[in-house]
Structure 1
Amino acid sequence: MNQIIQTIAVYALPLIFAITLHEAAHGYVARLFGDPTAYQAGRVSLNPARHIDPVGTLLVPLVMLLGAKLLGGTGVLFGWAKPVPVDFGRLRRPKKDMLWVALAGPAANLAMALAWTLLLRVYAGSGMHEYFWFDMAVAGVNVNLVLMAMNLLPILPLDGGRIVFSLLPNRAAWHYARIEPYGMMIVLLLLVTGALGLFLGPLLVFGRMVVSWFL
């Protein structure tokens, strides 16, 4: 039981920060490119309460994390937040600007992974022996890299799907958009079959390579 409580304590703050900054980044960049919808809804905010979904942000990741710990595996951290409202039609160049709005969330996660990495360096150089903070920094790196990789999967409505849509020629993009109603079912199918890790692997390798430059 103590180990479970410690695991929750170690992961709670990194996960909440990861979700909050990811969603706020989408709204902030959307506003920069002409769509104030998220800003007007109060979603360009660092207040976690504005972004947390009780089931997707707290319950599902917690169950998956604890299940992996109890079974002795590493597992895949999966979850979601309240979607930030973005009206792509209000962007100055809707299809092109969608790329930057979508990329903002994963980029925020990569930046946070680097911030946690720098904290690890500070910890290592300080001579401290309080391993709780070390474990939290490691969790911060891992949580953000996994969320970055998950969101970069080229499946609508994930950020990676929006990026692909933005880059495709118009005709191909509209055909590609037809998979969006089934996107989350595809992700869940990959998750339950264990195939999700195969797709996340290259993205995680990229993230860890970037992080390693700062260690």
Structure 2
Amino acid sequence: MEQFLAFPIEQIPFVVISLLIAFTVHEFAHAYVAYKFGDPTAKNQGRLTLSPLAHLDPLGTLFLIIGGFGWARPVPVNRFYFKRPRLAGVLVSIAGPISNFILAFIGVAVWYICLRLGVDSVSHEFVFRFFNMFMTINLLLFLFNLLPFPPLDGYRVIEDLVPNPVRARMTQYEPWGIFLFLVIVITPLDQFVISPIYNVGIPFLANLIDMILRPIIGF
């Protein structure tokens, strides 16, 4: 069975807990920023909450565990409430990925604090494995959601940055973009998209966080 999973089977509990937190905070961040810019849509639908039940998509969660990529339930956003739709749209879109980067940063910081406090040898490996997975999941979601494919956040950012005529054309072809995205991630083409995230992007960001935190915490 393990060969069908993106993560070792003994790490699945850490994956599930990390996903519950990562997906929930990601979608809450979208809802919160949209609400602050005047859009009550997500709040009215019960999405302005940190309850995982309001945000998790069972199929998207399963896909991440099995295939290494997945999704939560998208937060509804109504741009007509925004006084400055382009600025608000960009900030709402990037709020989710940024929240995942912040979570990864916090996870590493907590792990280093545990080391400074002298985590005992019995719990050392357990705590390390959890925070390592927590960091990996959140950095994965940070980078993954910045990809310029619909319906990911990176695509939404591009939509708000391009001129209106280009945006209209993008909207027309958006349904086909989803199929293109799926082809890329479930075929050998993923070596040019998903593999670089795992092999280059996540290690680079992990090292960056390490470089920032070590002097602060005193390692």
Q: TM-score, normalised by structure 2?
A: 0.83
Query: In structure 2, what is the Cα distance between the partners aligned to 1:120 and 1:182?
Result: 42
Judge which range, 120-129 or 7-16, deviates more: 120-129
Structure 1 residue 141, shift from structure 2 partner: 0.6
Matched residues, percent identical? 34
Tell me which amino acid in the other structure corresponds to 2:176.
Y
Structure 1 residue 63, shift from structure 2 partner: 2.4
Equivalent positions of 1:1-80 (< 5 A) are 6-57=10-61, 59-64=62-67, 77-80=68-71
In the alignment of these two chains, the number of paired residues is 202
Q: Which runs of 5+ in 1 are unaligned?
A: 65-76
Conserved? CA contact 1:20–1:51, under 8 Å: yes
Query: In structure 1, what is the Cα distance between the partners aligned to 2:86 and 2:100?
Result: 23
Structure 1 residue 174, shift from structure 2 partner: 2.1
Alignment deviations for residues 92-134 of structure 1 (CA, whole Å, 9 cap, x no partner):
2223311000010001000001011102212322332221111
Equivalent positions of 1:193-208 (< 5 A) are 193-199=187-193, 201=196, 203-204=201-202, 207-208=205-206
SS at structure 1 position matched to 2:166: helix
Alignment deviations for residues 8-67 of structure 1 (CA, whole Å, 9 cap, x no partner):
11211111100000000000000111111001111011110111112212x222223xxx
Q: Runs ≥4 in structure 1, deviation > 4 angstroms?
A: 1-5
* Structure 1 residues 186 and 208: alpha-carbon distance in aligned structure 2, compared to 1, 3 A threshold: farther
* Structure 1 residues 42 and 172: alpha-carbon distance in aligned structure 2, compared to 1, 3 A threshold: same
Judge which range, 150-159 or 101-110, deviates more: 150-159
Query: In structure 2, what is the Cα distance between the partners aligned to 1:5 and 1:190?
Result: 26
Query: In structure 1, what is the Cα distance between the partners aligned to 2:209 and 2:178?
Result: 29
Q: TM-score, normalised by structure 1?
A: 0.85
* Structure 1 residues 204 and 89: alpha-carbon distance in aligned structure 2, compared to 1, 3 A threshold: farther
Instruction: Give the structure 1 partner of residue 217 of structure 2.
Output: none
Instruction: Give the structure 2 partner of residue 170 of structure 1.
Output: 164
Structure 1 residue 203, shift from structure 2 partner: 4.9
Query: In structure 2, what is the Cα distance between the partners aligned to 1:5 and 1:168?
Result: 43
RMSD: 2.3
Tell me which amino acid in the other structure corresponds to 1:28.
Y
